[in-house]
Amino acid sequence: MITGIHHVSMKCNNPEEYEKAVQFYCNVLGLPVYRQWPEGILIDAGSTKIEIFNNGEGPRIKGAVRHFAFACDDVDSCIRKIKEAGYDVFIEPKNIEIPSDPPLPARIAFCTGPLGEEIELFHEK
């Protein structure tokens, strides 16, 4: 029986990418380290973990997963920190309403992470 998503995994091609990714998730977003080992790290993102390996090789190819979304309390504050750290925000904070039944109002924004990953910040209203 599935009980949730344990982790999202990414691979870095070199030590510089790895350090940049760890700095982004731990320092910019303020997420704590859950476990660390010579080839990687698990970062605690609340209801899931982010796994980053330092031993990738070759080009990264974008697959079917479009982005992952962090639930957050304050989208605007997170986006300010992301911009201050020099990362691209390609959808500024905005209010939306998913036309479900019942409708789901939310505040969202999107940025590009250090490995080219697309990240949504999502606050359910």
Among the four given CATH numbers 1.10.150.50, 3.10.180.10, 3.40.720.10, 3.30.70.100, the one describing domain 65-125 = 3.10.180.10
Tokens 């599935």 correspond to 2
- The answer to whether 1-58 and 65-125 have equal CATH topology is yes
Whole-structure pTM value: 0.87
Tokens 């505040």 — which residue?
107
CATH of domain 1-58: 3.10.180.10
pLDDT digits (tens, 9 = 90+) for 52-88: 989 877 777 766 677 889 999 999 999 999 999 999 9
pLDDT level of residue 29 (50, 70, 90 thresholds): very high
Task: Kindly list the domain boundaries of the chain, sorted by start residue.
Answer: 1-58, 65-125
- Express each pLDDT in 3-26 by its tens digit: 778 999 998 988 999 999 999 999
Q: Side by side, which strands form the sheet with 118-124?
A: 68-71, 118-124, 104-112, 89-98
CA 76 to chain centre: 15
More confident: 34 or 13: 34
